[in-house]
Amino acid sequence: MLDIDKINNDFAALFEQGREMLREGQAKIIDEKREQAFRQFRTLGGIPGKTEDYLYTNLLPVLSKDYNVVFKYIPQDVNLHDVFQCTVPELATDPVLTVNGWYFAGNKKLDLPDGVVICSLREAALKYPEMVEKHYNRYATAAEKDGFIALNTAFAQDGLFIYIPDGVVLERPVQIVNLLRAKADLMAFQRNLIIVGRDAQVTLLVCDHTLSHDSFFMNTVTEIYLDDNAHFDYCQVQNQHLSASQINSVFVSEHRDTSCDANIVTLYGGMVRNNFYVALNEEGGCCNLNGLYILDKKQHVDNFSYIDHIAPRCTSNEHFKGVMDDTSLANFAGCIRVRPDAQKTEAYQANNNLLLTDTARVNTKPLLIIDADDVKCSHGATVGQIDEEAMFYLRSRGISVAEAKMMMMFGFAHDIIRHIKLQPLRDKIDALVESRLRGEFSKCHHCALQCRK
């Protein structure tokens, strides 16, 4: 039997066996979608094979491992707040922890403006069924051909729920810390739903970390709904160990005059696949999507994006950059889709790559699908080396070759990091990236896990 068939059969068996546990204590709305999604998963033929969207992604090495799956919340034997403390200097955040895809039971109560809800998705589905029903699994359908998304909907039991009512502006960023901690290799699912009301504003900082050495395979789906004139800032830092693989899918549904600024920085991890889907549903929407990936060893990072211009007069800017060392592999695929009525669209996309060794590889696929004529769209992709002229300039000022190279790489990376609006965070990420590029240990100092891998 083909490996991929075996994996799909395993998922089917898991679903059948786990059905009762999956449903336990769960709201109806989530379970209904669950059954539909699993049928969809089977219709699609399971996890993606060599499809156009997964052309360069070999999933087998990651999926062929035997992972444990736990369909209930396992209480932690330590207080995660003590084990993990993010130390971005001078950055006051409202932290929320998840562990292995579940809302952490020991999360502290936050001092939030009236009406703001931050809780587990499980709880929200019971407490605010109408709101969850209105939004749950409405935006993830943009990836209807991706079996992983269906799989998440079929298996997800928990995750975060965030609701910012109309007109509320959160001053402090909400910091979501996704922790992985187990005593054996683990596969887990996480499902987040974020609703930002009319004229509301919020900044989300998402940090992915590992707290044990086990192999992980996370499948996370985050759906984000932005009501008219909402402003949403999203910054994700992926800093896990090399056996932690994840498929991280973010779906943003934008409405009139909204803005979404997203920055994804991938520093460490095993196979990391980021899917970023943005739907610009109404006029005046704006999306700025930036990504940075710095890879070495055998890392494999995929960044996939799909910016869907449905309504006229929206803008999108997308820029991903990567540095590949050792035998790492980076794939980029970005699609700008302009629908027939989306006139006056402005959409730009760029992907730049630096290859440092003979064995590093990159595949890049910037796509434009344009069905309206009055648009300004462009994309560009480059693969190259550090500019010789610039190197000479630096050296002619007395800077050594090694240091000049470092500066050039750092400058290359900073071009993405500079988009992060919160200065303390930007500085912290600059520092992380610099030590990452220098090959120094780059995890946050207070991370309890002293990575040996």
Partner 1 sequence: MTKEKDNLLQEVTGSDYKYGFVTNVETDVIGKGLSEDVIRLISSKKEEPEWLLEFRLKAYRHWLTMKMPQWAQLTIPEINYQDIIYYAAPKQEEKKNWDEVDPELKATFDKLGIPLNEQKTLAGVAVDAVMDSISVKTTFKEALAERGVIFCSFSEAVKNHPDLVKKYLGSVVPYNDNFFAALNSAVFSDGSFVYIPKGVRCPMELSTYFRINAAKTGQFERTLIVAEDDAYVSYLEGCTAPQRDENQLHAAIVEIVVEKNAEVKYSTVQNWYPGDKQGKGGIYNFVTKRGICRGENARLIWAQVETGSAITWKYPSTILKGDGSVSEFYSVAVTNNHQQADTGTKMIHIGNNTRSRIVSKGISAGHSSNSYRGKVKVVKNCQNARNYSQCDSLLLGDKCGAHTFPYLEIENPTAQVEHEATTSKIGEDQIFYCNQRGISTEDAVGLIIKGYAGDVINKMPMEFAVEAQKLLQISLEGSVG
Partner 2 sequence: MENTMLKIKDLHAVVDGKEILKGINLEVKPGEIHAIMGPNGAGKSTLSAVLTGKERFQVTQGEIEFRGKNLLGMPAEDRAREGIFLSFQYPVEIPGVSTVNFLKTAVNEHRKYKGLPPYPAGDFLKMIREKMQLVGIDNKLLNRSLNEGFSGGEKKRNEIFQMAVLEPLLAILDETDSGLDIDALRTVAQGVNKLKTPDNAVIVITHYQRLLDYIVPDIVHVLYDGRIVKTAGKELVAELEKYGYDWIKEEIKSKDNGHA
Binding region for partner 1 (CB under 8 A): 52, 55-56, 340, 343, 353, 355-385
356 binding partner (options partner 2, partner 1, none; Cβ < 5 to 8 Å by kind): partner 1
Q: Look at residues 204, 181, 185 and name the one whose alpha carbon lies nearest to residue 194.
A: 204
Query: CA 244, CA 48: separation in Å to the nearest integer?
Result: 20
C-beta of 34: minimal distance to partner 1 in Å?
31
C-beta of 182: minimal distance to partner 2 in Å?
38
411 binding partner (options partner 1, partner 2, none; Cβ < 5 to 8 Å by kind): partner 2
Residue with Cβ nearer partner 1 (124 or 323): 323
Residue with Cβ nearer partner 2 (278 or 394): 394
Residue with Cβ nearer partner 1 (22 or 287): 287
441 binding partner (options partner 1, partner 2, none; Cβ < 5 to 8 Å by kind): none
C-beta of 405: minimal distance to partner 1 in Å?
13
Using the structure block, give the residue that is written with the tokens 């009525």: 341
Residue with Cβ nearer partner 2 (39 or 395): 395
Residue with Cβ nearer partner 2 (297 or 418): 418
Query: CA 168, CA 145: separation in Å to the nearest integer?
Result: 36
418 binding partner (options partner 1, partner 2, none; Cβ < 5 to 8 Å by kind): partner 2
Residue with Cβ nearer partner 1 (30 or 354): 354
Binding region for partner 2 (CB under 8 A): 387, 389-390, 392-401, 403-404, 407-408, 410-415, 418
C-beta of 372: minimal distance to partner 1 in Å?
6
Residue with Cβ nearer partner 1 (184 or 369): 369
Residue with Cβ nearer partner 1 (288 or 363): 363
414 binding partner (options partner 1, partner 2, none; Cβ < 5 to 8 Å by kind): partner 2
Residue with Cβ nearer partner 1 (145 or 213): 145
The answer to whether 70 and 186 are in contact (CB under 8 A) is yes
C-beta of 336: minimal distance to partner 2 in Å?
23
The answer to whether 152 and 219 are in contact (CB under 8 A) is yes
| Burial 233-258, CB ≥16 within 10 A → b, else e | bbbbbbbbbbbbbbbbbbbbbbbbbb
C-beta of 412: minimal distance to partner 1 in Å?
14
Beta bridge partners of residue 193, listed in sequence order: 161, 223
The answer to whether 351 and 364 are in contact (CB under 8 A) is yes
126 binding partner (options partner 2, partner 1, none; Cβ < 5 to 8 Å by kind): none
C-beta of 364: minimal distance to partner 2 in Å?
19
C-beta of 362: minimal distance to partner 2 in Å?
19
C-beta of 393: minimal distance to partner 2 in Å?
4
Q: Look at residues 116, 112, 111, 139 and name the one whose alpha carbon lies nearest to residue 128.
A: 116
C-beta of 354: minimal distance to partner 1 in Å?
8
Three-state helix/strand/coil letters over the chain: CCHHHHHHHHHHHHHHHHHHHHHCCCCHHHHHHHHHHHHHHHHCCCCCCCCHHHCCCCCHHHHCCCCEECCCCCCCCCCHHHHCCCCCCCCCCEEEEEECCEECCCCCCCCCCCCCEEEEHHHHHHHCHHHHHHHCCCCHHHHCCCHHHHHHHHHCCCCEEEEECCCCECCCCEEEEEEECCCCCEEEEEEEEEEECCCCEEEEEEEEEECCCCCEEEEEEEEEEECCCCEEEEEEEEECCCCEEEEEEEEEEECCCCEEEEEEEEEECCEEEEEEEEEECCCCCEEEEEEEEEECCCCEEEEEEEEEECCCCCEEEEEEEEEECCCCEEEEEEEEEECCCCCCCEEEEEEEEEECCCCCEEEEEEEEEECCCCCEEEEEEEEECCCHHHHHHHHCCCCCHHHHHHHHHHHHHHHHHCCCCCHHHHHHHHHHHHHHHCCCCCCCCCCCCCCCC
Residue with Cβ nearer partner 1 (161 or 332): 332
340 binding partner (options partner 1, partner 2, none; Cβ < 5 to 8 Å by kind): partner 1
Residue with Cβ nearer partner 1 (204 or 386): 386
C-beta of 439: minimal distance to partner 1 in Å?
17
